[in-house]
Amino acid sequence: WPMNCTIGPGLEGAIVCDTKIGYVNGSKGWLIYQGYDIFDLCAYSSFEEVSYLLFHGKLPSKDELVSFKQKLNLYRNIPQTIRQLDSFNIEEMSPMASVRLGSELMRQQLSHRIEEQVQLLYGGISADEDSISMEIEPTGGERATYEFESDEEELVDSCYQCIAGLSSIMGAIVRLRAGHLALEPDPNLGFAANLLYMMSGKKPTPLEERVMDICLILHAEHGINASTFATMVVASTLSDIYSSVGAGIAALSGPLHGGANEEVVKTLEEIKSVDNVKPWYKKLKEENGKVMGFGHRVYKAYDPRARILEPMAKLLVNDKPQMQEMYNIAKSIETEVQEDMGQEQKIFPNVDFYSGIVYKSLGIDSEYYTPIFAVSRISGWTAHVVEYLKKNRIFRPRAIYVGDYLNEFIPIEERE
Ligand code: SDX
């Protein structure tokens, strides 16, 4: 640093930091997390191992994985947050708005939980209710100040609480919006299985658990995409991690980013039959529309995540005839788009094109596909925050000013 780079609109080509967490090679179609290829991680590891890897730069030993899973299990229990969430009319909110609300409620609970913990540890507290730093009276008599996320260990622990808590919030949102009670997390289930259980109320089959685990691995990290960057920008102002994650959730909600997977399934359902694909595509091109689930700012090759999701979708629809037609429509769209924009414009399927078919085959409604994306990507968001905060530099890009200069000020009485 400083580094020369050619920057286009929307920060295209801009290098905002160096990182070891994730590498996206757009021309070769590679995705690497902390040096490990995504294909190896999907084949041999779990979302818990990958989350640990993103934070610590190495795959966990058996003991490290056990204690990490114990922490996530502990932090999945956020009954006060879920009770508060239930007091809102979340059935009238979009799922992603409910997820954002849940992350804010978790933040409030956490600062109170710290108070409870500190109260247990240190006795009387003269905490200033509004601030999140507390003057505490430790038993030893010396005064200390407990600064929320005051050092990296605290920050990483808060990130673990975000990761674990958001999966419980996700489960509660699905249940509460369906008019059911939210379920307690099952300590005997791993992250992926527990997420499916808390959403559906049913313990998943080993195949369903493995499929969800792979989906969570695939969505966990992708360099400095819009939602990761939004999270980092807010964190770079030294705002707390929950507010930073709230910014990531807001950015991911957009249909050009995480919201595309839901749009893809809606499109496949609207088309209804393979015979309708050609007229549908012709109309979309005439209207200069975007094919949801295709194209990418970085990948000018096939998205490696789609290379894993497509065969998974194909496998999962095998015994679901009603989904077979949806898969066939998707393949037909892929053929149309590849013939039209593949080689010339390097427009290929991205992570969102087949993920919806996979989730639908697990019985999940399309309105929850983007929230599930957030439940996974929170690992990448928070790992990048921990890595970036070491640089201690607020994000403050510039713009080229193309407006007027030195306009004469006209008093309002004289304006037309
Ligand atoms: C994700 O950044 C990440 O890493 C994101 C993500 C992650 O893991 O975090 O990978 C997740 O967001 C995947 C993308 C999900 N969104 C969609 O599938 C929505 C449809 N895709 C397009 O909106 C678009 O491809 C974007 C938004 C994904 C990328 O936009 P860019 O960077 O402008 O794409 P580009 O420069 O390659 O496009 C050049 C041209 C376009 O020109 P414009 O109309 O934008 O001026 O290529 C054409 C279009 O003419 N084009 C498309 C297209 N994508 C590009 N034409 C039709 N359909 C498309 N999908």
User: Contact, 76 vs 163, CB < 8 A?
Assistant: no
Q: Is the pLDDT of residue 202 over 50?
A: yes
On average, the pLDDT of the chain sits at 90
Q: Is the pLDDT of residue 44 over 90?
A: yes
ipTM value for the complex? 0.97
Q: How far is CA 398 from the centre of its chain?
A: 27
**Exposure class string for 335-361: b at 16+ Cβ within 10 A, else e:** ebbeeebbeeeebbbbbbbbbbbbbbb
What's the token pair of residue 265? 């399934």
Cα 296 to middle of ligand 1, angstroms: 4
What type of residue sits at position 375? V
How far apart CA 15 and CA 224 sit, in angstroms, is 9
- Residue 134 has what pLDDT? 41
User: Contact, 85 vs 173, CB < 8 A?
Assistant: yes
Largest CA distance in the chain: 78
pLDDT, one tens digit per residue, over 105-138 is: 998 877 665 555 555 555 444 444 443 344 434 3
Strand 36-37 versus strand 30-33 pairing type: antiparallel
- Residue 124 has what pLDDT? 44
Is residue 291 exposed (0-12), middle (13-18) or buried (19+ Cβ within 10 Å)? buried
- Residue 9 has what pLDDT? 82
- Residue 10 has what pLDDT? 80
Query: Helix, strand, coil: what percent of the chain each, to 5?
Result: 60, 5, 35
Beta bridge partners of 294: 349
Q: Among the options 296, 340, 365, 404, which is catalytic? A: 296
CB-defined site of ligand 1, < 6 Å:
222, 225, 256-257, 260, 290-298, 345, 347, 350-352
- Residue 81 has what pLDDT? 94
pLDDT-above-90 percentage for the chain: 81
Q: Is the pLDDT of residue 139 over 80?
A: no
Q: How many other CB atoms sit within 10 Å of the CB of residue 88?
A: 15
User: Contact, 199 vs 364, CB < 8 A?
Assistant: yes
Is residue 220 exposed (0-12), middle (13-18) or buried (19+ Cβ within 10 Å)? buried
What's the token pair of residue 12? 């295209």
pLDDT, one tens digit per residue, over 89-108 is: 999 999 999 999 999 999 88
- Residue 116 has what pLDDT? 58
User: Contact, 263 vs 270, CB < 8 A?
Assistant: no
pLDDT, one tens digit per residue, over 254-310 is: 999 999 999 999 999 999 999 999 999 999 999 999 999 999 999 999 999 999 999
Q: Which residues contact 121 (CB under 8 A, 6 or more apart)?
A: 138
Mean pLDDT of the region 189-199: 98
Q: How far is CA 255 from the centre of its chain?
A: 14
Q: How far is CA 69 from the centre of its chain?
A: 20
> Which strands form 30-33's sheet, in the order they lie side by side?
22-25, 30-33, 36-37
Residue nearest to atom 13 of ligand 1 (CA): 257
Atom of ligand 1 nearest to the CA of 290: 58
Q: Is the pLDDT of residue 144 over 60?
A: no
Mean pLDDT of the region 15-40: 96
User: Contact, 326 vs 293, CB < 8 A?
Assistant: no
352 noted as active-site residue: yes
- Residue 280 has what pLDDT? 98
Q: How many other CB atoms sit within 10 Å of the CB of residue 40?
A: 11
How far apart CA 231 and CA 242 sit, in angstroms, is 9
Give, for ligand 1, the residue of 19, 350, 351 to mutate: max count of ligand atoms closer than 8 Å to Cβ: 350
What's the token pair of residue 234? 């807010």
Question: Which residue did the predictor score with more confidence, 145 or 227?
Answer: 227
Residue nearest to atom 1 of ligand 1 (CA): 257
Q: How many other CB atoms sit within 10 Å of the CB of residue 28?
A: 11
pLDDT-above-70 percentage for the chain: 90
* pLDDT band with cut points at 50, 70 and 90 for residue 228: very high
- Residue 232 has what pLDDT? 97
Cα 263 to middle of ligand 1, angstroms: 14
- Residue 107 has what pLDDT? 87
Stated as kind and residue range, the H or E segment containing 32 is strand 30-33
- In this prediction the pTM is 0.91
User: Contact, 337 vs 281, CB < 8 A?
Assistant: yes
* pLDDT band with cut points at 50, 70 and 90 for residue 4: confident
Lowest mean pLDDT among 7-16, 153-162, 376-385: 7-16
186 noted as active-site residue: no
- Residue 112 has what pLDDT? 61
- Residue 129 has what pLDDT? 42
Mean pLDDT of the region 299-324: 94
Q: Among the options 352, 365, 384, 404, which is catalytic? A: 352
Q: Which residues contact 78 (CB under 8 A, 6 or more apart)?
A: 106, 109, 165, 168, 169
